[in-house]
Each structure stands twice: as C-alpha cells, then as structure tokens.
Amino acid sequence: MIELDNVAYSYGGAELLSDVSLKLAPGSFHFLTGPSGAGKTTFLKLCYGALVPTAGQARIFDQDVREMTRDDIAISRRRIGVVHQDCQFLDHVSMAENVAMPLKVAGRDVAAEQQNLDDLLSWCGLSSRANALPPQLSGGERQRAALARAVILSPDVILADEPTGNVDWEMSQRLIQLLVELNRMGKTVMIASHDLGLIRATKQHVQARVLRISNRRLQLAGADL
C-alpha cells in the first residue's frame, strides 16, 4: 500500500531522515515513536505524498511518488486519511460541515451521504455537537472531529500525527480505541506518538508493531514496548 525503499529526506542542507525502508501492509497497525523533532511528521508526510524523498523511492498504491501528478496525489489522498497534529478547521462553518468537507472535495453528494455522516458522528461521540462551530469545541472534541473528517471517505490507510497530544488520558484512550476499531475493520493504521504508556496500553488490545526514529533512521522498537 505504502512502500519506502532506502528513503532519505533533507531540508536546507540538513538530513532529517536517512536510509528509511518500510512496507505498510493492508490491515496492519503501527506506532511511530521517537522524541520531539526526530522526524515523525516528516516521515508521515513522505507516506502520503506531501513530501518527495531527496533519495530513495516512495511508492503509494504502486505508484512512484516522483512520477505522480497533482491529480494522482489528490486521488491517492482519498484512500489515505490523515489526522493532522494541529487540527485545522474552517471556523465559520459547523463541525459537521467541516467533517463532510472531504466529500465535497471528492465531488460526492453530501445530502446523499447524510446518514453515513450522522452514523460517523455518533460513532465518534459527536452527535450533540454537530452544529457547533469549531471554536466552541473542547480539545477532545476537536481531535475526534479531526478523526471523523479523516475517515469520512472510508480510506484504506489512516495516518495519525500525535492524535492524543493535547487531550487527557481518558480521551487519549477513547481516540486510540476508535483507531483500533478501524483497524479491526481492515484499515491500515499508523499512529505517531511519543507517549510510551499509551502505546503499551494499546498493545494489550491490538497486535501493533512499534517503530522508532532515532539518529535519522527507522528502527524496530524493543520488546519492552
């Protein structure tokens, strides 16, 4: 689905990632860990085509990123749901309209998808907040809305960048449980997180591979995680 082969990425002459190789198999569950600034966000951007590697090869659904047009990237994004760390929304429209935005961008009939939208908001525990504006949402509600928006098109892959970074432990567990349920539906999931306690707790419920970025390289984390 997503393959990185000896990938490196440099910015401004500084190498951020080096010699990174990974294959994301269908239905797999990965954690990506490492200290702040290690390159987790850069790695995820390489996985969904927002960045092009400076060396090596990145393939998304069997297409080389370097050969993909802007339209190719846009189409592939419909199959990859991304939960961004900063949770950006359009503040002047409702939360439900924000969640439905990918449907509009993909040219789908939002009215015809209303039941699916309602079911998704219910699944994320957001039904009562459907008409609230983003500034009126709590941190946990914003994170759940970001997850709902990322999966509204039923993507094959979900990439989540520190989705629990701004919420308490109870909300962190709820968000992770939603991602675990998506994985059980057959979705491929990768979560970037530096919260080792949360990773250990999640591994009690799902078979997850834990990867660590250290010294610009991707490593398999030890058995203690």
- pLDDT at residue 4, rounded to an integer: 95
CATH superfamily of domain region 1-79+155-225: P-loop containing nucleotide triphosphate hydrolases (3.40.50.300)
CB-count exposure of residue 45 (10 Å: 0-12, 13-18, 19+): middle
Return d(Cα 158, Cα 115) in angstroms, integer: 22
Name the residue ranges covered by the structural domains of the chain: 1-79+155-225, 87-153
Tell me whether strands 188-192 and 29-33 are parallel, antiparallel or unpaired: parallel
- List the single range of 38-47, 54-63, 98-107, 214-223 with lowest mean pLDDT: 214-223
CB-count exposure of residue 204 (10 Å: 0-12, 13-18, 19+): exposed
- pLDDT at residue 222, rounded to an integer: 58
Q: Which residues contact 11 (CB under 8 A, 6 or more apart)?
A: none
pLDDT at residue 17 is higher than 70? yes
Return d(Cα 125, Cα 52) in angstroms, integer: 36
Provide the mean pLDDT of the chain. Answer: 90
Banded pLDDT at 69 (limits 50, 70, 90): very high
- pLDDT at residue 2, rounded to an integer: 94
* Residue 71 identity (one-letter amino acid): D
> How much of the chain exceeds pLDDT 90, in percent?
59
Number of other CB atoms surrounding residue 80 within 10 Å: 23
